[in-house]
Chains A and B, each alone.
Chain A
């Protein structure tokens, strides 16, 4: 089969089984757009801004585990993608990003809409290519999918000059079934000797703790994690990225850890003697002050990326491999050896944890006449049974979802954890909804974040993505305001917007349903009403208590056990 470069791109996507491509046309990709015309196998989703395309593809990838695909033109098209690519990179999300480039002969001449896309994106992709030979196009696209989705996943960009996609020059097309790179051989299985060492250490634990992250979600190892945790009867905490890998309402689950983690999770981390870190990377938002992190613990660290191991925290038993096979191996080894940690010690440890848990650190004022943001999330959780796909933007609302929406299953919690990208929530929810049209998809956001990609409301209408938007409107950039209250003596420097749009009218202007909710008693009926509107996007604008803070909080420079609790909770009084 002889195809032009443009036809090769489209045919390769079909052969790869790509369902959606999120993109925006422009000069350098017009040949590719022409090849997309009139075919239905790969559905093109026309976004309103290229950043939206990356977030939609990212949401799609997080919800399905399959790489999200993006198409944009050269120059500004490519630079608009950068935030979304960096977002995916920080959270190890597989994307294949195809960009047009100016024709090969004019590369380097400052041509119209030229930029060094490969250079600009190099620090925020797993790998990238500039294709200069159309005969290598199909193979390069295959490599991009392979690299993006194996090992520690991540975005891969393929930059294609316009002359390479020339419809008049055809070359033989062959899409390889598989590719192999001599310089890239991601590890699958863990070293058996290390796994044995880990099993021995686990058996000797008296105050064990399991700390798992996004790697368990990405590595499809939630059931192995759950099996291991239950069999050992160990306490477990999840990182922001790892929520849902272990059932959120289970007794052994201590909630999220870290800067806004629960009291019991952070205390158990601090006091534990054996820490089992699984698919997590000891991010600074987790560890707090490094010198005082888990001071009594021997650390086992399982991760597919060797560079994540011993990067921030010294590790006693490093295991490089995919979490799923490593956990299976570990489980069978533990079960066959019959070694279990001392049950009396474990019982005493659980008693201690229950004392910490009795503090009920997430309690808030349920009698308030104002809408408490936590209440909105709790109601959302109840109504959806913990099974909705929930995306978020970045800030207080994100932390409240992490704390109050107890995710029962993996891939349901979709947020920008590493880069912390405002504007991520709504477009990523569209990507999720397109992947799972029958599932409930909710974007929890704030009035500041939502305005960063608001134009995608139009895309949601065109492609029938009836997501629900829960806007926790406190008229502040809430997390900025909170830091200013705590560390800048309440000097609220530019964290307040004097002019906020009427979101009801805004939603209506985009062809959707808008609702404004101002009283606590209206919260639940409004959510129920919105969810009942199956085929409409509903924008729920909740006017919340603007002074509410996220607690507990490990402030910058503090150790994980030095949490700031809400003023209405006292450890001295309640744990005495």
Chain B
């Protein structure tokens, strides 16, 4: 089962390494990890996408909570949440392909942010499944480069993960 775990952690040197080495040492999966400072510069927000059965996810959250730098965490996939990932995509766009790619990008609400005679750079956000679907719809061999940020997420409603 895929889970999205949001963490607030002290914005200290080595905090990211503690989280990453915990996953490595205990053999947990990390599918994606993003981290950046928040409006409070002493706090970083991290989003980890991981997978495992209930027992493993329970251990992951408990072990993360044990890290001294972790202030709070929440498995947001357990309740209503919004998930977004940013993708920058460079695709071959020549001749007839140009219109086709543009149409497809429009359907997925992507934006073309760079254009040359041979290629487009497309910017697209959405949950990871949407980005996967867009990639699946491109013709084989058309992709030059894909950059994905990894998902971030937030709870729906007034409830929030804050200090």
Partner-B contacts on A (CB < 8 A): 118-119, 122-123, 126-127, 130, 147, 181-184, 305-307, 310-311
Contacts and interface: CB of A to CB of B under 8 A. Distances in A.
A307 B66 contact: yes
Given A123-B21, A130-B13, A305-B66, 17 more contacts: A118-B14, A119-B17, A122-B14, A122-B17, A122-B21, A123-B25, A127-B68, A130-B14, A147-B68, A182-B71, A183-B10, A183-B69, A184-B68, A306-B62, A306-B65, A307-B65, A307-B66
B163 A307 contact: no
B10 A310 contact: no
Interface string B36-65: 000000000000000000010011001101
Contacts of A127: 68
Nearest to B69: A183
Interface in B103-132: none
Nearest to A122: B21
Given A306-B62, A311-B59, A183 B71 contact: yes
A182 B163 contact: yes
Contact of B68 (A123, A181, A306): A181
A171 to B, nearest CB: 21
Contacts of A182: 71, 163
A130 B12 CA distance: 10
Interface in B74-123: none
B38 to A, nearest CB: 14
Contacts of B63: 307
Contacts of B59: 307, 311
17 contacts: A122-B14, A122-B17, A122-B21, A123-B25, A126-B68, A130-B13, A183-B9, A183-B10, A183-B70, A184-B68, A306-B62, A307-B59, A307-B62, A307-B63, A307-B65, A310-B58, A311-B59
Interface of B: 9-10, 13-14, 17-18, 21, 25, 55, 58-59, 62-63, 65-66, 68-71, 163
B24 to A, nearest CB: 9
A94 to B, nearest CB: 14
* B-side interface mostly: helix
A126 B63 CA distance: 12
B60 to A, nearest CB: 10
A391 B55 CA distance: 37
4 shortest interchain CB distances as A-B pairs: A307-B62, A183-B71, A127-B68, A184-B68
Nearest to B70: A183
A99 to B, nearest CB: 15
A183 B66 contact: no
Nearest to A151: B66
Nearest to A132: B13
Contacts of A119: 17
A307 to B, nearest CB: 4
Nearest to A126: B68
Contacts of B58: 310
Nearest to B8: A183
A305 B21 CA distance: 20
Contacts of B55: 310
Contacts of B18: 122
B110 to A, nearest CB: 39
Contacts of B163: 182
A122 B20 CA distance: 11
A127 B59 CA distance: 19
A182 B163 CA distance: 9
A311 B58 CA distance: 9
B6 to A, nearest CB: 15
Nearest to A124: B25
A182 B68 CA distance: 9
A573 to B, nearest CB: 43
Contacts of A183: 9-10, 68-71
Contacts of B14: 118, 122, 130
Residue of A126, A307, A311 contacting most chain B CB atoms (<10 Å): A307
Nearest to B163: A182
A310 B60 CA distance: 12
A182 to B, nearest CB: 6
B142 to A, nearest CB: 42
A117 to B, nearest CB: 12
Contacts of B69: 183
Nearest to B71: A183
Contacts of A310: 55, 58
Nearest to B18: A122
Contacts of A305: 66
A127 B67 CA distance: 8
A321 B71 CA distance: 19
A123 B25 CA distance: 8
A267 to B, nearest CB: 28
A184 B72 CA distance: 10
Nearest to B58: A310
B158 to A, nearest CB: 23
A306 B59 CA distance: 9
A119 B17 CA distance: 8
Nearest to B55: A310
Contacts of A118: 14
Contacts of B68: 126-127, 147, 181, 183-184
A34 B34 CA distance: 45
B89 to A, nearest CB: 35
A181 to B, nearest CB: 7
Contacts of B70: 183
Nearest to B68: A127
Residue of B10, B59, B62, B65 contacting most chain A CB atoms (<10 Å): B62
A118 B63 CA distance: 19
A127 B14 CA distance: 11
B135 to A, nearest CB: 36
Contacts of B62: 306-307
A304 B66 CA distance: 11
Contacts of A130: 13-14
A130 B58 CA distance: 31
